[in-house]
Amino acid sequence: MAEQNRAYHGVAGQVFAARADAPGLNSLHERPAVVSLIGDARGQEVADLGCGAGHLAAILSAAGAKVTGVEGSEVLAGVAREAAPMATIVHHDLDVPLGFLPDASQDGVVCALVIHHLSDRPRFLSEVRRILRPGGWFVLSSTHPTADWGYFGGSYFDERWVTRSFGEATMEYQLMTMSTLLNEVADAGFVLERLVEPQPVEALRMIDAEQFDKWSSAPIFVALRAHVAG
């Protein structure tokens, strides 16, 4: 798979940043669920892995967390630095080990809508486990396996790489079953605390009632919170 199609480089980064900022699937559907799962992070050191345009990094920083955002797209890293000036934003490929983050250095890690783009999820999850302190929390979101299955068709169990268009850009990611996602998290040494299949927040109804009804009828995202085992 070509790297440029998996990390929102160039035009893809610009399109993603605009869409993530506008009222819709990110801001009024997936992001509120992730923020709710994180809870109160004030005074904590948090790594936002795949920080995108910096929305979560900005929210967490404003709430009193010390945030290190990591983003593989140079375009999005630049946007994130402007959106979250109190956070430290690092341009780094998440398919490469996080050598700049020491062992047991983070109280929490958030990884929103990123893991399905990575070429070696078990290695990435082991890095998340390495940088977390004992008892540290991990909040993860991804596209919902059944939503992807409904869109692309074929066998639900065919965990193939697919390409999806949005606006002027295309993006590649790997399909996975729900059992694959949960078992990989468990195998990396995490204990599941909560799993949610988010629905859009009420504010979206006031902006676009048709989309609110559509997105309320079937899952589009899945999000979970886990902690370090032992």
Q: Where do the domains of the chain lie?
A: 3-39+107-228
140-156: per-residue pLDDT in tens? 999 999 999 999 999 99
175-189: per-residue pLDDT in tens? 999 999 999 999 999
Between residues 25 and 103, which one has the greater pLDDT? 103
108-139: per-residue pLDDT in tens? 999 999 999 999 999 999 999 999 999 999 99
129's CB contacts (< 8 A; 6+ apart) are 188, 189, 190, 228
41-77: per-residue pLDDT in tens? 999 999 999 999 999 999 999 999 999 999 998 999 9
Q: Which pLDDT score is estimated for 7?
A: 63
With a cut of 60, say whether residue 2 has pLDDT above it: no
Superfamily of domain 3-39+107-228: Vaccinia Virus protein VP39 (3.40.50.150)
Question: β-pairing, 161-166 with 169-174?
Answer: antiparallel
Phi then psi for residue 159, to 5 deg, are -90, 65
**Going along 75-220, which residue ranges are E strands?**
88-91, 106-112, 132-143, 161-166, 169-174, 190-196
Of these ranges, 23-27, 162-166, 189-193, the one predicted with the greatest mean pLDDT is 189-193
Q: Residue 195 burial by CB count (10 A; 0-12/13-18/19+): exposed, middle or buried?
A: middle
